[in-house]
């Protein structure tokens, strides 16, 4: 069952008399109980798209439904059906963790007995039971994020939107947050839509990933199938001459060559056997290879393949 339907969705802004599309005729669906990621760099349109889907921005054109409700015509029904965790903290730092959850539950009209049970249940889930009665101003960044996840989920939403949920967290805290997100999805069956520019986050968490760039979803599938689009092994060379694409295109076992920011990436089968030939070919061509890296493809390579640049460039 499709819990999100988006068709030809566009959101345009005007700046100094110039109109530009932050979201440009996007079409996709999200299935019930799915974890779905919008993966792309800053400025790609991810947050704008989330704001349209959560009724915070009105689309310029196109159609979007969340939980069966039109985001333009049925805003209140959409809002009652979703939870949101924003990039910027939205907790009341003068209240305790327990008080923040209780206040949010009251806003959704949850009765006292159910409210107390739900608050206790979610504090346990995100491992904040021992910190529940400490004011949020004394929480670490990771504790804040865990409390935000619990708050966004307290009213049993059908869809939980997470905008860059682990931005600014250290590696260990980020991975623990991933586990909380997975547990929320599996335990309660909530559909989760998240934005991220972390490749490993999308690969670890998501059933499907839509790679978004310059306001358009350029490719959408499961992480495994997206990586399979690249298929072969990848060898990345750091060269003293970055514009050396044509030199390696002549090698019959190289199926694709990409140049990016001083590096050249070659796609081929059985790269472990080909590296000596590549090194010798570079030497004969007068190239100095500063470093060599061999690996299997990742979502980073998918992004590079479809956009011609790396996600952080």
Domain co-membership, 191 together with 218 = yes
Last residue of a domain, one of 202, 226, 250: 226
Structure tokens at 142: 């990771």
Is 81 or 232 the better-scoring residue by pLDDT?
Answer: 81
List, in sequence order, every beta strand (DSSP E) within the chain.
2-15, 18-31, 35-39, 61-66, 69-70, 82-85, 159-163, 191-196, 208-213, 216-221, 233-239, 254-260, 263-268, 289-295
Domain that includes residue 103, residue range = 2-226
Domain co-membership, 169 together with 262 = no
pLDDT at res. 241:
73
pLDDT at res. 283:
86
Classify residue 148: in a domain, yes or no.
yes
pLDDT in tens, 108-119: 999 999 999 999
pTM over 0.85: no
Domain co-membership, 117 together with 182 = yes
Classify residue 306: in a domain, yes or no.
no
pLDDT in tens, 259-297: 877 788 898 888 888 899 999 988 888 888 889 998 888
Domain co-membership, 283 together with 146 = no
Pairing verdict, β 263-268 and 254-260: antiparallel
Domain co-membership, 144 together with 264 = no
Classify residue 158: in a domain, yes or no.
yes
Classify residue 305: in a domain, yes or no.
no
Classify residue 311: in a domain, yes or no.
no
Classify residue 308: in a domain, yes or no.
no
Domain co-membership, 178 together with 248 = no
Mean per-residue pLDDT over the chain, rounded:
91
Mean pLDDT along residues 202-206? 94
Q: How far apart are CA 137 and CA 197, in angstroms?
A: 28
Domain co-membership, 219 together with 241 = no
CATH number where 250 lies: 3.30.70.100
Domain co-membership, 211 together with 238 = no
Domain count, the chain: 2
Q: How far apart are CA 164 and CA 220, in angstroms?
A: 19
Q: How far apart are CA 13 and CA 24, in angstroms?
A: 11
Last residue of a domain, one of 198, 226, 254: 226
Report yes or no: 115 and 105 within 8 Å, Cβ to Cβ.
yes
Domain co-membership, 218 together with 275 = no
- 98 vs 93, 143, 146, CA distance in Å? 12, 13, 12
Classify residue 14: in a domain, yes or no.
yes
Last residue of a domain, one of 226, 253, 273: 226
Domain co-membership, 221 together with 238 = no
- What residues have CB less than 8 Å from 151, skipping those under 6 apart? 83, 85, 91, 100, 101, 104
CATH number where 76 lies: 3.40.50.300
pLDDT in tens, 143-172: 998 999 999 989 999 999 999 988 888 888
Classify residue 313: in a domain, yes or no.
no
Domain co-membership, 166 together with 266 = no
pLDDT at res. 218:
95
Q: How far apart are CA 283 and CA 276, in angstroms?
A: 11
Domain co-membership, 10 together with 123 = yes
């Amino acid at each position: 069952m499709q819990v999100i339907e988006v068709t030809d969705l566009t959101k345009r802004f005007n700046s100094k008399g110039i109109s530009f599309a932050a979201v440009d005729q996007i079409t996709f669906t999200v299935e019930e109980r799915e974890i779905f990621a919008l993966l792309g760099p800053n400025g790609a349109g991810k947050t704008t798209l989330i704001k349209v889907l959560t009724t915070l921005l009105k689309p310029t054109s196109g159609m979007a439904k969340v939980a069966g409700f039109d985001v333009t015509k049925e805003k209140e029904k959409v809002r009652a059906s979703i939870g949101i965790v924003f990039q910027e903290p939205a907790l009341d730092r003068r209240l305790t963790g327990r008080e923040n959850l209780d206040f949010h539950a009251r806003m959704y009209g949850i009765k006292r007995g159910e409210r107390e049970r739900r608050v206790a249940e979610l504090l346990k889930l995100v491992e904040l039971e021992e910190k529940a009665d400490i004011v949020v101003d004394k929480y670490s960044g990771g504790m804040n994020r865990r409390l935000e996840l619990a708050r966004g989920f307290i009213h049993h939403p059908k869809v939980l939107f997470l905008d860059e949920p682990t931005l600014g967290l250290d590696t260990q805290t980020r991975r623990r947050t991933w586990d909380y997100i997975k547990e929320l999805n599996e335990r309660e069956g909530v559909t989760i839509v998240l934005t991220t520019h972390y490749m490993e986050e999308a690969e670890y968490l998501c059933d499907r990933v839509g790679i978004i760039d310059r306001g358009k979803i350029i490719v959408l599938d499961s992480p495994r199938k997206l990586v399979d689009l690249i298929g072969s092994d990848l060898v990345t060379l750091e060269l003293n001459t970055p514009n050396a694409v044509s030199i390696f295109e002549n090698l019959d076992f190289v199926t694709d060559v990409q140049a990016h920011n001083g590096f050249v990436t070659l796609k081929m089968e059985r790269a472990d056997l080909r590296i000596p030939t590549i090194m010798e070919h570079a030497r004969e061509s007068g190239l100095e290879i500063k470093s060599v890296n061999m690996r299997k493809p990742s979502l980073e390579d998918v992004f590079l393949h479809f956009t011609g640049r790396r996600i952080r460039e």
